[in-house]
Structure 1
Amino acid sequence: MQQVIDYLHRRKKANPKPVCAFVYDLDALQTHVSGLMKTLPSRCRLFYAMKANSEAPILKALAPLVHGFEVASLGEVRKVRAISPEAPIIFGGPGKTDEEIEGAIDLGLYLLHVESRHELQRIGRIAHRRGVEVPILLRVNLHGALPQATLAMAGRPTQFGIDEAALPDLIRLAVALKNVKLAGFHLHSLSNQLDPEQHVRLIALYCARVRRWIETFGLKIDYINAGGGVGVNYADLTRQFDWNCFSERLAGMLQVECPPGAGVLFECGRYLTAACGYYVTEVLDIKQNHGKHYAIINGGSHHFRLPAAWQHSHPFSIVPVARWDYPFSRPELLDSEVTVAGQLCTPKDILARDVRISRLRIGDLLLFPYAGAYGWSISCHDFLSHPHPDHIYLSETGPAADKTDPRQAAARRSRRD
């Protein structure tokens, strides 16, 4: 974090323009992911679920480290191929079009997740017409009790996967299709799991189900895809998912429970990139309304939608800024509770609520950590047509990249002219 704060002080000293940026520490990202890869059990492979953050510098930093990328659209396939012609790609998600399936085949697929009977039939038809074999995993929405987490994709009615009750028919169809190879099963059931032992038990359940299907249908499979689901604790940043504990317990469990010859795939996004990113924005105004204090920031949920999407008060720290360019006194709050609100014309544009601060002034910066996943990537960027934030990529091993939104740059050139 100190590298980020030092950068912000230099930037603010050089430029009076209000700050609004996502700042990414690429060295921290690579150190974190390298550590995960070192402790991952040998029969496991870790793919990056790039829906969490698909910015090119992030993908380039991860490409040499992870086993490949999990994508959910043809656009994401193209983003991977723009930075790597050979990185293995797993294509998932409901509602794939024929164009997406064919485009992904053309650009090179490692595995294709199948979400329904109709999708399987279309994949078989496309593969037969093109004279290729497409390796697939059947995504299954399991029945029965599953561990609780922030989001659930299985164990209940959802749009994801094949109802386990319908699986026998889909297995028979997959085996019968000449241009389709049933390589295994995809069982991603929940998201943001914070308990490593619960997560190991969930994967043990996956292994037990797959063993039953193998025995019932005489299958030989290559992979069990456990999906993602490893979470981030936004409520207490000091208590995160214990990856070392998870890896140790997982290795022992797989020796006993995993079907012979099957590898286990993971598709983690949030847990890989969240901690490397920061959303930083300047306090534009401080006001009181009906007895509550509000800090109005140069940005909001149109840039950083995560707090609203997950309905939490996102932690932040205050970066004091000495610069004050106005001839009148500088408003400040002392030892007060403050709610951080954005610029949008909706009372829902809130990033943090009723946070006790010792001192906050207009012109200070708010630094929101753990913003490297599902921040910019899920936000309504053009609502009200506010400028996009800058995207800054810091690295001590190479030059920092500063990607400013092209529309902002054009507007600045227009003002100068």
Structure 2
Amino acid sequence: MTDTAPRTGTAVRPPAPRPAPGAPAAPGLPPVPTPAYLYDLAAVRSAHARLRSCLPEPSSLYYSLKANPHPAVVSTLHGLGCRAEVSSPGELDAALEAGVPAGDILYTGPGKRDEDLDGALGAGVRDFAVDSVHGIGQLDRAAARHGVHVTYLLRVNPGGGSRGAGLRMTGEPSAFGADAEDIAAHPGRYTGGRHARIDGLHLYLATNIADEAALGDSFSEAIAVARTLREALEVPLRTIDLGGGFGAPYARAGELPDYPGLAGRLAQELDGALPGWRRNDPAVAFESGRYLTATCGQLLTRVLDVKASHGQRVVVLDTGINHLGGMAGLRRVPPLHPDVVPPAGPGTERTGGDGPDAAAEPPGPAMICGPLCTPLDTWARSHPLPAVAPGDLLAVPNTGAYGLHASLVLFLGHPAPLEVVTDGGRIVRSDRLAFVRRAAAT
């Protein structure tokens, strides 16, 4: 579990050591150096099965790589039937590295550079999502440069609002989507050109909704908008991507929410609004990132220091906002109030420090800080914590989504944490992102 690449500049992932085919499973995981993200592929498969049971059939499911683009996670979900939804050259590279064929990739995002489109088209991607009239023309010109024909989903920004959402994506001025009213009033602007033609609609109204009724209401709104615009556009639409919004615990103990009545509700509404959907005319799609991966991960960390300061117990860990929660302040993820608990699973046994300075402080509330040279590196001002000493192992649960890849990993130059993938009680992959500074043409 060592890394040898330098770590400044462009992110790279060194080749992963993989077990030989047929290698016997280890009786238990070896101790994992910290800090480390530990991803369990069995939990990924369990979450996928749970989500599929909540969706109407037939329907397809995209995996949004923004939640966790680790190749082992992406490969597992693609093997379960998920297409990949990417929104950057880096995510495209991650999907291709994971073995996802270009024909199974949807390239989204509200702003794309010409070189982004050229790279995607050169890699074989032919399905895109666009958010504006300009985006349609830009994609059409790019496809013409490559001598190919492509299709796109037109992302829609309807009015209204979704209750219970962790983050509202539409219904207000936004980079995401074309206004539904303008599409209905000027449908000819949105159907494409000679090399890029509309294939369907993309509606993603909100995210991180744990309440089933609220999530159902969000999808109901999307279905109603899709029905109206399908009639207004007067061109065949083969796909209606209703987006996601499925909630999941973030950096706290807890289970994935259940939506037992959602599939039946949506099937009934789709029968009324899009009566051919059961024959895939149009095909209905959903997408998810956090629900599929949140509960597969835990962030392992060791205690570096324990002290009392002005009457407050202070615990310093070897990880902090550089590895978890950096984007919480940007509202991309909920505010960070992590649970810090004893770790779970093999290979996470407590191995506390020794010596005269390693005595455990008594249990009770503690200020939990990371190792960064800034007072901003604080996860909690007062968090219940057992008796710990330097060297003790702790964990933050449910960090498989928006963990490392929504962090401030370059801030203050600490090494990136390991990413360790387990399956069936054994390690199947272990690697570390590194950063290399390269000369660039100016």
Question: Where on the TM-score scale, by shorter chain, does this alignment land: which range?
Answer: 0.7 to 0.9
CA separation of 1:242/1:402 partners in 2, compared to 1, >3 Å: closer, same or farther? Answer: same
What SS does structure 2 have at the residue aligned with 1:213? helix
2:17 alignment partner in structure 1: none
In 2, the alpha carbon distance for the partners of 1:170 and 1:102 equals: 29
Matches within 5 A, 1:257-336: 257-258=273-274, 260=276, 261-305=281-325, 308-309=328-329, 310-319=334-343, 321-326=350-355, 328-336=356-364
Q: Deviations over 1:235-264 (max 9, x none)?
A: 874353214433343333323333532222
Matches within 5 A, 1:20-99: 20-37=35-52, 40-84=55-99, 86=101, 88-99=104-115
2:414 alignment partner in structure 1: 386
- Between stretches 112-121 and 310-319, larger displacement belongs to 310-319
What SS does structure 1 have at the residue aligned with 2:136? helix
Counterpart of 1:92, as a letter, is T
Q: Is the 8 A contact 2:224 2:273 kept in 1?
A: yes
In 2, the alpha carbon distance for the partners of 1:57 and 1:176 equals: 36
Tell me whether 1:347 sits opposite 2:362 in the alignment.
no
What SS does structure 2 have at the residue aligned with 1:135? strand
Q: Deviations over 1:12-40 (max 9, x none)?
A: 7xxxxx73111111122123213433553
- Between stretches 303-312 and 348-357, larger displacement belongs to 303-312
Higher helix share: 1
Q: Is the 8 A contact 1:318 1:360 kept in 2?
A: no
RMSD: 2.7
CA separation of 1:392/1:36 partners in 2, compared to 1, >3 Å: closer, same or farther? Answer: same
1:376 is displaced (CA, Å) by 0.5
Q: Deviations over 1:177-204 (max 9, x none)?
A: 2222211111112111111222122212
The percent of aligned pairs where both chains have the same amino acid is: 30
In 1, the alpha carbon distance for the partners of 2:242 and 2:326 equals: 24
List alignment gaps of at least 5 residues for structure 1. Answer: 13-17, 408-417
CA separation of 1:263/1:76 partners in 2, compared to 1, >3 Å: closer, same or farther? Answer: same
List alignment gaps of at least 5 residues for structure 2. Answer: 1-24, 344-348, 436-442
Q: Is the 8 A contact 2:251 2:398 kept in 1?
A: no
What SS does structure 2 have at the residue aligned with 1:66? coil
- Between stretches 119-128 and 239-248, larger displacement belongs to 239-248
TM-score, structure 1 as length reference: 0.87
Counterpart of 2:305, as a letter, is D
Q: Is the 8 A contact 1:222 1:262 kept in 2?
A: yes
**Residue number among 152, 156, 161 corresponding to 2:172 in the alignment:** 156
In 2, the alpha carbon distance for the partners of 1:219 and 1:230 equals: 31
Counterpart of 1:325, as a letter, is D
- Between stretches 398-407 and 147-156, larger displacement belongs to 398-407
CA separation of 1:329/1:100 partners in 2, compared to 1, >3 Å: closer, same or farther? Answer: closer
1:145 alignment partner in structure 2: 161
Tell me whether 1:107 sits opposite 2:123 in the alignment.
yes
Matches within 5 A, 1:204-243: 204-234=220-250, 237-238=253-254, 240-243=256-259
Q: Is the 8 A contact 2:327 2:406 kept in 1?
A: no
In 2, the alpha carbon distance for the partners of 1:102 and 1:213 equals: 30
Q: Deviations over 1:191-242 (max 9, x none)?
A: 1111122212221211211211222332321122122321113487435321
In 1, the alpha carbon distance for the partners of 2:219 and 2:244 equals: 11
Q: Is the 8 A contact 1:318 1:364 kept in 2?
A: no
In 1, the alpha carbon distance for the partners of 2:316 and 2:252 equals: 24
**Residue number among 372, 394, 402 corresponding to 2:430 in the alignment:** 402
In 2, the alpha carbon distance for the partners of 1:271 and 1:201 equals: 18
In 1, the alpha carbon distance for the partners of 2:185 and 2:146 equals: 25
CA separation of 1:389/1:151 partners in 2, compared to 1, >3 Å: closer, same or farther? Answer: same
Counterpart of 2:240, as a letter, is I
In 2, the alpha carbon distance for the partners of 1:31 and 1:239 equals: 12
